[in-house]
Structure 1
C-alpha cells in the first residue's frame, strides 16, 4: 500500500471503511483498528487523517447524509407538476425502504448517536434542513416539514415490517398531507 503522501484517496477510503464497519458492528463497535483494517491502511493513518473518533464519525455521517439528500434532490428535481411532486415523494418513500439495509442501518445509527451526542444533532438538523429545502421546491415550508417526517416514518415502517404496505397506501398518505389545509383549530 502506498504512503499517505502518494495515496491521495486514503482519507476517503478510511471514511468509506468507517461507514462499512458501522453497518457491520454499529457505532458502539467501531474502532480505529477495525476501520484501518477495512480500509487497508496502517493504523497510524487514523490519527494522521482524523483528530479522533468523533471527527471520523462526523465526516462519515456527513458523507452518508449527503448521499440521502442527493436521493431526495434526484427524485424531487424530476417533478414538474404538483401531481408529479406527490408521486416523487411516494417513490422516495419506497426507494428509501426498498431493502437497502445499509442505508437503514446507517440512518438508525446516526439517529441513535444524535440522540446521545449534541454535536451529532446538528448534523441531523442540517440533513433535515437540506431534505426540506428539496421538498420546498414543490411544497410550502409547513407541508415540507410534515412530508419530511412522513417520509422518515413510512420508510422506517416499510423497512421494518414483515409485510410492508403497498404504494397505494403511501400515495394516500402523501395526498392527505399535501391536501389544501383546512381551518386551524382555535
Structure 2
C-alpha cells in the first residue's frame, strides 16, 4: 500500500495584493453594489476562502482596496509635481493633471467616484478619503499656502470630475485660465 499523496500547497506570497487589485477592477466594472466575494475571488483567481482569510468581510476588503487605490494615486500625484520649480510650472502641472489624470487609468477614476459615494453612506470610509485629500493638499502645499492648496485641490477634483462626466469638457486653455485665476492674488 502506498502512502497518500501529499497535498500540494500553492505558494502565493502576493495573494492579498492580487485580491485587492481584483477588487478595484471589479468595483470599476460593477460598482460597489455589484461587488461580491465570489466575483472578486473569480477575478483574482483565488479560492473563495482566501477572502475570509485576509479580510474580516466584504466591507473590510472594499475599504482596504479603496485605501490601496488611494495610496497608488497619491504616489502618482506626488510624482506628477516633482519637476515644478516655478509658478508657471505649477500652472502647467495642474493643467496637465486635469487633462491627463497624472497617468491614472480611467477605470481608477471610476473607482475613486465609487469611493466618494460609498464614503457618503459609510463614515468608516471617510478616513480613506480624508487621508487622500490631506496627501493631495500636502503636495500642493509645497508650492502654495495651505488655504490656497485646499482651494486648488477642490478645483482640481471638480475639473477632473467635469472632464470625466461632461459631454463638452473644458479645453486645456480654459483649464489653464481657471488654474491661473485660482492662484492669482486677490485684487486690493
TM-score (norm 1): 0.92
Q: 1:98 to 1:48 in 2, by over 3 A?
A: closer
Residue equivalent to 1:116:
121
Give CA deviations for 1:84-105 in whole Å, capped at 9, x if unaligned.
0111111111112999430221
Residue equivalent to 1:36:
41
Give CA deviations for 1:113-147 in whole Å, capped at 9, x if unaligned.
00000000111011000000000111110110001
Gaps of 5+ in 1: none
Cα RMSD after superposing both structures: 1.8
Question: Out of 92, 97, 100, which is 2:97 matched to?
Answer: 92
How far apart, CA to CA, are the structure 2 residues paired with 1:134 and 1:109? 23
1:108 deviates by 0.9
User: Based on CA coordinates, which of the two structures has the bigger radius of gyration?
Assistant: 2
Moved over 6 A (4+): none
Paired residues of 2:148 and 2:183 also in contact (CA < 8 A): yes
Paired residues of 1:99 and 1:159 also in contact (CA < 8 A): no
How far apart, CA to CA, are the structure 1 residues paired with 2:174 and 2:126? 31
How far apart, CA to CA, are the structure 1 residues paired with 2:81 and 2:106? 23
Residue equivalent to 2:148:
143
Q: 1:168 to 1:127 in 2, by over 3 A?
A: same
Matching of residues 71-82 of structure 1 within 5 Å: 71-82=76-87
* 1:9 aligned onto 2:14: yes
Gaps of 5+ in 2: 1-7
Query: How many corresponding residue pairs?
Result: 181
Paired residues of 1:75 and 1:91 also in contact (CA < 8 A): no
Q: 1:3 to 1:85 in 2, by over 3 A?
A: farther
TM-score (norm 2): 0.91
* 1:58 aligned onto 2:66: no
